[in-house]
Structure 1
Amino acid sequence: MAESRSAATTALAEAERLVLGGDFAAAVTVLEDVVDDDPILPVLYLLASTTVELGELDKALRYATRAVDTDPSSAPAHDALAKVHVALEDYASALTELEAVAALGRDERLATQPAQYSVPAHFALHNVEQLDHILASNGAQRNSAGGFSGGLHNMRRGLTDAIDGANGEAPWVSVNAINAHMLADPPYVKVPEERLPEYLNPTVDYASLQQALAAGEKVQVIDNFLTPEALDQVRKFCLQSTVWRRPYQFGYVGAFPQHGFASVSLFAIAEEFSAAMGAAFADFQLAQWWAFVYDAKLPGTDIHGDDADYSLNFWITPDSANLDPDSGGLVMWDKKAPSDWSYDEYNSGGDKVRQYLEEQDAVPTVIPYRENRAVLFEGHLFHKTDDFTFAPGFANRRRSVTILFRRRKG
């Protein structure tokens, strides 16, 4: 066994090198030579992901299922299986697996909770405000929120003062009070959903959108994107589900599938949108999705490009919260990164991107914020959150949802 384990480890390292170089077929060959003798989980994970990249979805399903069967308590195994189900467009099964990923991740964090946390102040403030919102708006979820009551307003005031004194930066704070873990890793609450009859607004002219894409137009604005009922459902999910787990240095917080940002409504929107785009989207499929929530006193996302053929970004906060209707949406540039730039180079923003855009005489276009507005654009185009001025209050925070579509494999 030691000899086969060594062979599997060696094969894994070689396959990872091949994947980094984009040679997925060679990586699969290397891994398949050892997987039957020693089916360690990392080999099964990588086989599942590389066969998805090759469009060999039957193989991918077999390897990901084998990983879950090998260790049902492995969050990465369930995550690998979820990604295969997304590629197969089996969204109900993907949702089941992603719920397992979130639950297993939560259990792992609970088992290793420190007595004291150091967290970004904007992240802790968001968590305090969300727990307060949940308790105030839905008494049935009071127990799920862990009985979080005493000192809530004092905590909020202290965190707000820390952000106010940081001159537009996102400061870190240490928290060690009796409820400190709830500021850094709040209890898992997820709003249940029933599928609605319709999510996309049927009055949107999708034929014109298809024609625009065929004509080479790179950015499309879609107003009144969702039905009122669908917008309400997505907004409630975002307001009352504690799936916001990834703080960013610029002062916003992200929600990702592995942390519970997966729902009936999100999959339905992606599915209906693909169908509505018809032949224009026949070669593309759902690849990834997330959401961001912003602090009113800190900036948003910096200039970056997405790893996608098309990005769909839509906004769910009411217009009444936006104090400057001429801003607050997206700034789009008419350039994308050179083909030899890495993902980290074009996605992380910074001076290199700004210098490149200046050298290319790139033209920025501001798309103002509107409630229920969607923007569809070629994902590699550089873009950023426009400067925004939103009213104070948890429900008034700027919230955006992003869905990425990539070309089908195989």
Structure 2
Amino acid sequence: MDSARNPDPEKRINRLSQRKISLGGGTTFTSEYKLRADLEQARHLAETLYDNERGDRQKAEFFASVVAPVYETILSRIPTLEQLDETMGLYKFQRQDVEDGIMGVYNRALHVPDVPATRADGSHIPIFGKTLNPAQIQREWVESNGIVVVDDVLSKETLDLIQQKIMWESTVWYQTKLPQRFGGYAGAYIDDGLHQRILLQLSIELRKLLPDIFDGHPLKYMWAYKYDSDSNYGGINLHADEAAINVNLWLTPNEANLDPNSGGLVIYTVKPPQDWDFELYNRDTDFVYEHLLKPSNFANITVPYRVNRAVIFDSALFHNSDEFTFRKGYKNRRINLTLLYGDMEKQQQPLSQESSEL
């Protein structure tokens, strides 16, 4: 790998694309919540890799004696969120940060374990749980007009691998967004580190399992978000995704969720009109509330959080994270894995000319 993510400076030949930087995945800026998440992960890796029988004690020592102290140093002097008002909470690394070693550890692929879809003996790891009923899921999809909740999606073996090796260990959480506008969550993307074989296998087998839902809709994109448990931050704001089908899978243990009646997803039963473009309906949320959600009396389906629960829904439906209260601690951070399939199908009737010009 010859990208800027490489931990070896001599192998950082190719610069990051402007798209990855614009998404918040650059190496020259950060946010307080992102640094805190990275610090927690470094401490987790220092402990996990040292204790694991097949771990790497030399790498564990690296995270304990090099990575964690750098993050601790930068966090000790990073300005408050209010002091970073002009940049909406983003912080550009200063000369002292560089001298303290931040460029050697921040947003680098320091530890990305390979997670195959087969066992050491070559046998296939079962992706899905034994209780799934594909016929029932597909029937509910039709009857519900495109919103299905599926519990116990992954087998325990697959769930454990994805949780531990990808979501908790892999240092591919490169994205930080403007915290004053979007809240506090770090992101990992299929085209920027989140492409382990078991995830790709999951995306393929899901289409095979539910052909009536996914036929004609190839995988379009995939990401995971890891949220800050601080009460100052929320989840994802109101939006619709540019795809046909959205699969939102939750991966944090239930014990982390302090309110089992919340913490999931709110899906509104309206879509953007055909004459709206992506930027309009995801930028002007006040307009969406006034001219789409309010006339529908904010009709929605709210799905509470459960680990290993997937919500499969029409991706054009407006949705946002439900309010959540999760325990403090690295492995308690709320995590969702999102897979997008196919192209968006908007509602057939555009808004009236009068309302579309407001």
Q: Same fold (TM over 0.5)?
A: yes
1:224 maps to 2:152: yes
CA-atom RMSD in angstroms:
3.3
Give 1:234's aligned residue: 162
Scaled by the length of structure 2, the TM-score of the pair is 0.75
Counterparts in 2 of 1:2-401, with a 5 A limit?
107-108=13-14, 117-139=28-50, 140=56, 141-142=59-60, 145=63, 147-150=66-69, 153=72, 162=80, 171-175=89-93, 176-177=96-97, 178-181=100-103, 184-196=106-118, 197-215=125-143, 217-236=145-164, 237-249=166-178, 250=182, 251-297=184-230, 298-348=233-283, 350-356=285-291, 357-401=293-337
Q: Which amino acid aligns with 1:354?
A: Y
Q: CA deviation at 1:208?
A: 0.8
* Count of aligned pairs: 305
CA change 1:104–1:402 in 2 (3 A) is farther
Compare CA radii of gyration and give the structure with the larger one.
1
- The whole-number CA distance in structure 2 between the counterparts of 1:243 and 1:280 is 30
| 1:387 positional shift | 0.9
Structure 1 segments, 4+ long, off by >6 Å, are: 72-75, 164-167
Shift of residue 352, structure 1, vs aligned partner: 2.0
Q: Which sections of structure 1, spanning at least 5 residues, go unmatched? A: 1-71, 76-98, 111-115
Following superposition, the deviation at residue 361 of structure 1 comes to: 2.7
Structure 1 letter corresponding to 2:340: L
Instruction: Give aligned-pair identity as a percent.
Output: 27
Structure 2 portions without partners, runs of 5+: 17-26, 51-55, 119-124, 345-358
Matched position secondary structure for 2:186: strand
Change (3 A) 1:275 1:117: closer
* SS at structure 2 position matched to 1:402: strand
**Matched-pair contact (CA < 8 Å) for 2:84–2:90:** no
- Change beyond 3 A, Cα 1:105–1:376: farther
Distance, in Å, in 2 between the alignment partners of 1:286 and 1:162 is: 40
SS in 2 for 1:138: helix
**How far apart in 2 are the matches of 1:183 and 1:120?**
15
Asked whether the equivalents of residues 303 and 348 of structure 1 are also in contact (C-alpha less than 8 Å), the reply is no
- Please identify which structure carries the higher helix content: 1
Q: Is the 8 A contact 2:266 2:321 kept in 1?
A: yes
TM-score normalised by L of structure 1: 0.66
Tell me how far apart the structure 2 counterparts of residues 147 and 402 of structure 1 sit (CA, whole Å): 33
2: CA distance, partners of 1:241 / 1:272: 23
